[in-house]
């Protein structure tokens, strides 16, 4: 965590160049230590370079509110078990009615059965019936007899058959008529195939039971809430049922998770968990790099990562504060232990903090000292120059072991060393064994 915090407004000022040099440096330095900040800055810079006006987030907030309210509005219907059963009955009923109508025309028995099945089953597992109940709210029904325990299905059919003789023999409730109005006949139902993707079935009261069904669609996934029975066992390939959030995922489950991302099935899946060797705690946000092509994935909060590779080379695991490790890329599970770097220098920004706190200074003060250096060097050259010098202070505060780390003009090196060694003494600070000095006049 940083001492400095920035909000988006401040960062926008940075991107627009409205901050002072010091403030800019603050942001830049913080971004070096904070990937999130750095990503946000890059996002803001992209926005600026596109020349678009700042995005209005009212739109997005509105969508979020809509999304959350729609869920709670629809949940009252979805929670209503009797109503759900009624809905299933009506769906099946209408299917049979359709069949019944078809029956007027001469057909072979086989075709009739086929038709009936088609109509009764309704939406196949990767289809979603989206039924609008009122203009301003949407009720989504997920109808799939495959998922219903057989007993229930039989019961539904039986009850339906009882009704089918005279479907209008009793007065329908308001809700029922509403549903009936949208009972899936071919006209009313709108199978939205674009929604094929990942379905997420979760019972609001059994929040740990989440079933994610990948239907291998290419399009964006849609999330559905449904009041399916808890014991329901999905029969489709690529499903994952996690009944306990703490249960580690099996290989097949991880595979399912990956394939729900739309990757092809032929890629090799490598997955694992990165832990601290000593504490055995998971490490989040660790970079897992494919040494072959430099692709990177990050571990999640549980230290897990998943990587799809077309070739099995090695993966490099890099985490700040830990010794980087290379592992062989193999299918299936691996646990990778990273050993913490005890004497880690996690970034060189660290050093300047040291320098700041109690660093050595020339006894005559920086301003005079630099003026002295520049004036003396200017006697030797008219060209621009830029040198970095490293030195130590002896116990009297005299610079010793002066060396030129970097120089724009090698001919100046000896002169600069001479000037420093014979210039002002220094007040010794914590950095006295390693003082860096840049000598470059500001224009």
Tokens of 178: 């509403």
Q: How far is the CB of 407 from other proteins (least distance, A)?
A: 10
Q: How far is the CB of 417 from other proteins (least distance, A)?
A: 16
Q: Which of 194, 331, 386, 411 binds other proteins (CB under 8 A)?
A: 386
Interface with other proteins includes 436 (CB under 8 A)?
yes
Residue identified by tokens 């209005």 is 56
Q: How far is the CB of 398 from other proteins (least distance, A)?
A: 19
Contact partners, residue 270, CB within 8 Å, separation at least 6: 306, 307, 308, 309, 312, 315, 329, 330, 331, 332, 334
Tokens of 16: 């627009």
Strands (E), 251-386: 268-276, 287-290, 296-298, 304-309, 314-318, 325-328, 332-338, 361-362
Q: How far apart, in whole angstroms, are the C-alpha atoms of residue 61 and residue 72? A: 17
Q: Which residue lies nearer to other proteins by CB, 103 or 346?
A: 346
Q: Which of 310, 363, 401, 422 binds other proteins (CB under 8 A)?
A: 310
Q: Which stretch binds other proteins (CB under 8 A): 23-31, 90-98, 184-192, 362-370?
A: 23-31
Q: Which of 112, 172, 210, 241 binds other proteins (CB under 8 A)?
A: 210
Contact partners, residue 291, CB within 8 Å, separation at least 6: 313, 314, 315, 316, 326
Q: Give, in order, the Cα–Cα distances in Å from 143 to each of 23, 179, 189, 201.
A: 58, 13, 12, 12
Q: Judged by CB under 8 A, how many residues of this single chain contact other proteins? A: 107
Please report, as residue ranges, which positions from 40 to 79 form the binding site for other proteins (by CB under 8 A).
Answer: 40, 42-44, 46-47, 50, 52, 55, 57, 59-61, 63-65, 67-69, 71-72
Q: Which of 96, 317, 319, 338 binds other proteins (CB under 8 A)?
A: 319
Q: Which stretch binds other proteins (CB under 8 A): 167-175, 270-278, 288-296, 362-370?
A: 288-296
Q: Which residue lies nearer to other proteins by CB, 188 or 403?
A: 403
Q: Which of 16, 18, 39, 124 binds other proteins (CB under 8 A)?
A: 39
Tokens of 139: 């009720």
Q: How many CB atoms lie within 10 A of CB 238?
A: 20
Q: Which residue lies nearer to other proteins by CB, 72 or 231?
A: 72
Q: Which of 155, 287, 330, 427 binds other proteins (CB under 8 A)?
A: 287
Terminal Cα-to-Cα distance of the chain (whole angstroms): 37
From residue 328 to residue 367, the character string flagging contacts with other proteins as x (rule: CB under 8 A) and all else as - is -------------x-xxxxxxxxxx-xx------------
Q: Which residue lies nearer to other proteins by CB, 117 or 438?
A: 438
From residue 174 to residue 203, the character string flagging contacts with other proteins as x (rule: CB under 8 A) and all else as - is --------------------------x-x-
Q: How far apart, in whole angstroms, are the C-alpha atoms of residue 209 and residue 201? A: 8
Q: How far is the CB of 81 from other proteins (least distance, A)?
A: 18
Q: How far apart, in whole angstroms, are the C-alpha atoms of residue 94 and residue 89? A: 8
> What does residue 173 show for φ and ψ, rounded to 5 degrees?
-70, 170
Q: How far apart, in whole angstroms, are the C-alpha atoms of residue 285 and residue 274? A: 10
- Kindly report the CA angle at 17 between 13 and 20, in degrees rounded to 5? 90
Q: Which of 405, 414, 421, 422 binds other proteins (CB under 8 A)?
A: 405
Q: How far apart, in whole angstroms, are the C-alpha atoms of residue 37 and residue 26? A: 12
């Amino acid at each position: 965590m940083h001492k400095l915090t920035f909000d988006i407004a401040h960062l926008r000022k940075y991107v627009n160049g409205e901050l002072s040099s010091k403030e800019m440096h603050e942001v830049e330095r913080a971004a070096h230590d904070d990937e999130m900040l750095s990503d946000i800055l890059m996002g803001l810079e992209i926005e600026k370079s596109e020349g678009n006006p700042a995005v209005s987030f009212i739109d997005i907030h509105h969508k979020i509110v809509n999304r959350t309210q729609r869920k709670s509005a629809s949940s009252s219907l979805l929670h209503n078990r009797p109503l759900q059963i009624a809905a299933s009955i009506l769906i099946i009923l209408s299917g049979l009615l359709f069949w019944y109508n078809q029956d007027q025309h001469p057909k072979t028995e086989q075709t009739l059965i086929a038709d009936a099945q088609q109509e009764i089953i309704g939406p196949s597992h990767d289809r979603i019936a989206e039924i609008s109940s009122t203009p301003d709210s949407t009720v989504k029904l997920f109808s799939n007899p495959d998922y219903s325990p057989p007993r229930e299905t039989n019961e539904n059919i039986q009850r339906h058959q009882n009704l089918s003789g005279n479907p209008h023999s009793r007065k329908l409730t308001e809700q029922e008529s509403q549903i009936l109005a949208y009972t899936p006949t071919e006209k009313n139902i709108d199978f939205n195939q674009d929604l094929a993707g990942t379905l997420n079935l979760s019972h609001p009261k059994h929040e740990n039971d989440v079933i994610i069904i990948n239907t291998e669609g290419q399009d964006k996934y849609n999330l559905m809430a449904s009041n399916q029975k808890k014991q329901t066992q999905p029969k489709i390939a690529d499903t994952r049922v996690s009944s306990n959030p703490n249960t580690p995922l099996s290989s097949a489950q991880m595979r399912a998770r990956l394939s729900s991302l739309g990757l092809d099935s032929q890629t090799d899946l490598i997955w694992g968990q990165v832990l601290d060797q000593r504490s055995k705690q998971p490490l989040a946000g660790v970079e897992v790099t494919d040494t072959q092509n430099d692709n990177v994935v990050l571990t999640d909060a549980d230290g897990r990562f998943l990587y799809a590779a077309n070739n099995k080379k090695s993966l490099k695991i890099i985490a700040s504060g830990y010794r980087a490790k290379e592992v062989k890329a193999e299918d299936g599970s691996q646990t990778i232990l990273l050993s913490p770097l005890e004497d880690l220098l996690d970034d060189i920004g660290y050093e300047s903090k040291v320098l700041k706190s109690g660093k050595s200074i020339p006894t005559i003060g920086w301003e005079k000292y630099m003026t002295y250096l520049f004036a003396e060097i200017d006697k030797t050259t008219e060209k621009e120059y830029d040198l970095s010098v490293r030195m130590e202070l002896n116990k009297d505060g005299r610079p010793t072991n002066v060396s030129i780390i970097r120089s724009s003009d090698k001919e100046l090196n000896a002169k600069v060393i001479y000037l420093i060694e014979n210039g002002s003494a220094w007040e010794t600070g914590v950095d006295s064994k390693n003082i860096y000095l840049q000598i470059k006049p500001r224009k």
